[in-house]
Every structure is written in structure tokens, then in C-alpha cells.
Structure 1
Amino acid sequence: MQPLVLSGLINHGVVEEHNLPAELAIGERAMATWSLETGSSGGFARFQVQFPPGIIAESLENAGASFTFENGRSKFIWIETAPDQTINLKMKLTATKDFHGGIITQWFSYISDGTRQDVEFEPHHVSVKNQSEPQANEPEVNTEFSIARTWFSEGPNLGRVTLSISGHEPGQFLKIEETIGTQCSAEPLEDSGASLRDVYDQSILYVWQQAPSSAFELQYRVMGQSEDCWASIVGQASTVIDGAVQEIQIAALETPSENPDPENPGSDELVQLLRSPLPSKTTDSNGTSTGAPIRFKVQVLASHQRVNATFFAQEYQFTRPLVIEEHEEWIKYITGSFDAYKSARDARVEIRESHDLPGPFVTAYSGNRRITVQEALLISKQNWIP
């Protein structure tokens, strides 16, 4: 994060509204509509919608655009649009058996002074709708969330960790984070399709927006100057089961005994199954952990070029303090910092109603690291507010 840098760009006040569903049942079809205000942009334009796996989109109204749908992404392309035009679009969405919920992202692109400009809209979460209760003759499913950690020595100061995860609810948010000692390092080996995999400081993090459909395993390798790197490993996991947050800790492994069977390296493994709840954490009145503070902010604009403070005041009558985040090729403009999601949401509503900014939305952070709003709500035990 850094102070706002002065330079120039115009985003022409593109505004979007939609009625995307909050949930879909397997096999369900739903109609979704979009209304795009092009502002003063005009000319070539493209609107894209990226759906999570398992959703098929068909165009019903395209406002004269060409339409394609490939790899879960819908594209509407116009060779020419008029300034101050309202574009109305409609699609039919079908949830297949591969749909497990997820995030829908949307953005609008246009040409200004020979340069492509991209306006990123607020992401939309869609979940799987429960269609019916299980039949009486169906076997009862064990939903006790548990993780077994296995350590296998691969040599001096080197070992492989396997985490076996079971009892989670498929399609729900799941986060697993392991922490190792300061003299040790880790490298991921198997992530089972995690949405996010990150190694930072002394931690290795896995996040799934939609947890796998059955029990699965993770693997990572631990290396270091210390012979007892295995002893430094601690971790925790959190997920949602039947609408409630469940957390477990993954405690440090006990001291390994000498391998009683040198011909069978598998007997040198250490297994520990942990179902105990996380130790209590210091929290504020909103239930937010003070160990790694959760903050909510509002993103008001994202582009590929910098803009100056005068631009925001002149174009949008927006004079709140701003900071810049740079991610890949995007420059994102952020305002505010709140403990409670509701406060950030109220700020977003006020900004949207008072300024003609292109789709401000709430963002979330764990310390200085940006995370999903869903993850932040889960960690801080706060409720989502539409």
C-alpha cells in the first residue's frame, strides 16, 4: 500500500446493476439481467462475466453485441456503442452437476484515447441450494471435521508432511494454515485444487472457495538447519458445516520414536488425529481476532493507469482519503478501514449513492494481506449483509 500518486486518467462513470441469483440448485435454470450505463465512454466495448465451474450461460438479449461462452466466461463485444447509452443484457444460467458454488466476477472494457480501460465490478457469490432432505434409507454421513497429520522423514533435516482432511461439507469455504519454525522452510507438493496456495513468512496457506467433494490430502515438504523442524509445526483449519463455522487446531507432533523396523520406512511415520477446538483467542466486541486483525475497506476504482486526487474530486466529487494497491497489472484505489463488515458495507452504500463511481465494493484484509470477504467474515464470526 502506498500514498496516492498524481497523474491522469478518465473512467467515464460506467455503472452496472444486475439481479444474479444468490443460490442455484443442481439442474436449476435461472434468468439473470444486467443494466450497463456507458456514461461518456462510447466506441468499442466489451463486457465479461466469469462464472464458477458448473454454470452454463446462454445469451437471451445481447443489445446488438456478439456473444461467446467458453471456459465459464461470457463475453459481449460491441464494435460501436454510443455515449450515455443504457445496455440491457439477459442470460439463462444452468447449474450442472459439477456446480459447487463460487464467485462470479464481472468487468467492462472500453477504449479511451487509444488505450484500453477496464472497470472491475463487485464480485457476486452464488451458493448451492439444498434441494431436499436426505432420504430415510440413505446412510448417515459423518460430518465431524477432522485432520490427520502424517510426518515421513526423507533424510537429515528433511521430511514430508501429509494432511488428510475429512468431514468437511463439499462446496463450502475451507481454509488450512500451517506454521513452521524460524529455522525451517516449506514447499507445497500437492494442493488438491486449492483456490489459493501461498507460502509467506513461516506459514503455508491453502484456501478453497468450494471444498472438494470428498476426503482428500495435502502434502508439503519441510526443510531446515534444525533436525527437529517437524516439532515446530502447528496449524489450524476453519470451514462451514450446516451453516455454522467450525474450527480445529492441528497441534505440534509428539517426539518421534526410533524406527523399530528399518526395512519398513512407513513405520517411521507419526500420525496425530486432532478434533479439539481452537484455543480461545482475544477478540474485540465484533468477535474479530486481535492476533491477526481483520479489517474491511472499500475499493472505489480499479484501472491499469494511475489517477490523481484532483481527478476524483472533479469527476466524482469524491474527496475521501485514498490509498493505492498494486496487484499484477491492476491499480486499485481503496478508502476507509473498519473493524466491522457492516460499517464498510454502509460506507460502500453511501459512496454508491453519493458519487458516480463505477461499482464500489467491500474488500477484506488479514493484517496487511488481502483476503476474500467470505474468509474475513468466517474468521471474525460476522454476518454478511447484502
Structure 2
Amino acid sequence: MYKLIISILLGVFSSFTFFGEGDVTLTPNIPKEVKAGSEFTVEITIHKGDIDGFARFQQDLPVGFKAVEKKSANGEFVFENQKVKLQWMKLPFEKDIKISYTVQVGTTVKGEFNLTGKFSYIANNVVSSAELEAVTINVVGGDMASSDYEIKNSYKYQNVSLKNIDCIRQKPYLNENNEVIVNLLINKGDIDKFGKIQEQVPVGYNAISIKSKNSIFTFKNHIVKFMWMNMPSSPQFTVSYKLVPINGIPDQAFLIAGTFSYAENERTKIIDIAERNIDVSKFDTEKLVAEVKPQQTETQETKTEEVVKETTEQTQTELLAENKEEKTQVEPEKETKQEIRNEQKQTEKTVTQKVTKEPQVTSVPTPEQGVTYRVQIAAGHKLVKSSYFKKFNITDNVQTEIHQGWHKYTVGEFVKYKEARNYRIYIWNNTPINDAFVSAYNNGQRITVQEALMIANQKWYQ
């Protein structure tokens, strides 16, 4: 009898352990069959519990597949070398988070493919991971007519891809009155009937239309809407609005989420609006480049089917290194003390030669090409006035970006990490800001310093 009771209690405790705080699982929502030349959505629910630190989700896609961000749960989305990678410096507080992205399938791809994935995270300074159980997806022959339509209407603008029907948001920025400017670029193709843009904006702002493109603009209950009974004739156009603080700048996370709805074949379709680091304030159709995808030969198609996915296993050391701002696996280049002193003097000389004027945080972010570095000097939920950094002896123009719900302020722009490191030291030595650090970007998107060094084939300097 006692043995029976003990067994039952052990079973109860075992069940609690299985569903406990440390148990992280992944639930996929992926179709079993798709057509070549079409696209589908991958949705992953991450049951993370109370884990809230650094984390990364990674998935390898077969050749012929291309991923485009939809919902990143405030993570940094990257797709390169057939790898989908979502990275968080700090996970959202919700116990369950959903991520999703659109996968575009090449017109000549066919056969069965296994999609797996891995979620790596740090808990109690230990790297752990949860594996995504393999999902088999079957790609069957598609409709070439629809593929032709996609090819004809696919574009690139400032190195950002636009699907045949798409809507993207330029990263919001501040004007000289500390108002947030929001610009949207719409690629509507041949659609000429109903269309609607709807965006939910943070509490504490009033939305005012700047450019509506003959739409009906409304703002109610924190919802911005642009509505058309008949879409504009131009295949591509922009609309914009500004957010004006009502009672001072709200001290809260700044997040915008939106959708673009349109009527096609008497049905309403909805797509998510993605945010990109482009400048559409002065949209120039001449810079819009049509993407024509070359047809693969039968030999190439066969090679596509036979591709074996190469999985990259990351060691605990690698992941822990990326959780720290500048620690990488790259050996630091050795410098003599004299070299460092000379470089610091050169940096100080360069800085003093700049025009000393009140720093600004109002310029439109310029799209960047390739890997660049900046020095981050502050971050906060509340927007600050342009004169704020003057009291910290900051003489350079201050760029602001809205990232993961924070307003992040950076100075300088460098193509070499070593130059950014030197400027960071200058900030430490000449201002009260002693916790400034180097931030890295690839084509305007934030990445880790380690990733930037690897992409640019540069060395790390302590």
C-alpha cells in the first residue's frame, strides 16, 4: 500500500517536472503540400515559460526556398545562406511567443523536403536548446501563369525585395518637433478596387495624415486607417502619417503593427506590413528594379532535389559569446600601447575638427549598404528632445532608431570595427557616458558584432 502511494506521488512529481519552468517546446504550423512558384507561411509557437534572456531560433531551408519576415516577436530576422535566423538579446515577457515568415518556392522546385529547426537560449548562464520536430513538406508542380505574374511584378527598392503585392513600413523616425514620422510603400500590382492599410500605434499619440493618396484617413482607438474604394492607378505609391505626443512623450515601448487588405477575385486578402530600413520619404520609381528570376535547367532542378542540408551546430561558447556585446571567437589583433595612443589622438583630432553644434536626433535614417558600425550611447522607452545630449558633451549628430520597442541613440558611422572601437573609447574618455558600446548593422539591420566581423572578414579589437 505504501509502495503504491509513493509510486503515485513520484508520478505526480514527474509530471510537474516535465511541464516545469525549464521545459521549452516548439509547435510548428506548416502546410504539408505547396505548389512550386507559390508561397506559404511558416508559423512557430515557442513555449518558453519564464526564460527572458538571450535566445536564437534557426532553421535551414532547401535551395530554391526564400524566407521573408512576417512576425518576429521583436527579434532580429535574417535570411542568408539558406538559413532563417531570429535572434533576441532579450526575449519578450510572454510565456508563449509566435514567430512567422513567408517562404517563397522557386518555380522548378519539386519533391519532398524535411523542415527542422532549433531554438537555443541561455538560462542560469547555461546554453540549452529545444529541437523542432521534422515536418515533411511536398512541393508539387505549380501554375506557370501565376509564376509569370510573380516574376513580372517583383521588385527591389534600395536593396529591399517587394513581392508582387506588398506593403512595407520605413523605420519610423523623429522630425525637428519630436514627432514620429511613419512612411509606407505599397506595391499593389494590377489591383484597382478596395484597399485598406490599418496600423495599431502606441497609446499616448495622436495620428495626423501627411500624405493619403486620395484615401479616407481615420484615427480612432489607437488605430490608423487609410481606405480606398478604388486603389490609385500607380502600381507603386507611398502614404505617410505622423504621431504627435498628446501629454508629453510617453514612457513606454514604441511598437507599431499593421496589415494591408485588398480585394482580389471578389475575395479580401490580408498581408502583414513589414518594417524595413529604407527611405521612402522621397520615393523614386526610377530606383525600382524589376527582379527577373532565371529559369533553372533540368540539371539544376535535379541538383536542387539532391541538396543535403548542412546543419551548423553551435557550441555553448559561441552562443554565450554572442550574448555579450563585443566578445567574439575571433582572436583580438595585438596592438602596442603606442599604436593605441596614436589612434586615440587621431580620433580626438578628427572629432574636434567637426562643427560643434547642438546634436540632432531628427534626420531621416539613410539606408546603409553592407556592414557598418555605430556607437550606442543611450536607450529608453521615452523619446528625448534634440537638445538632450548637449549636456553630455556630445557634439556629433545623434541617430535614433526604434528597435525592439526601445528608442536607441547612436553616434558615428564606420565601415571598420576598429574605427568604431576607437570612437567608443573617445566617448568614454571625453563624456560622462561610460557605458557606450559598439553596435553593428548589415544593410541597415541590427546584427551582433560577431556576425558583422564574420561577414566583413574583420578582426576584433579589445
Give the TM-score, by structure 2 length. 0.29
Give the TM-score, by structure 1 length. 0.34
Q: Which has the higher helix share?
A: 2
Q: Which of 1 and 2 has higher RCO (CA within 8 Å, sep 6+)?
A: 1
Q: Which has the higher strand share?
A: 1
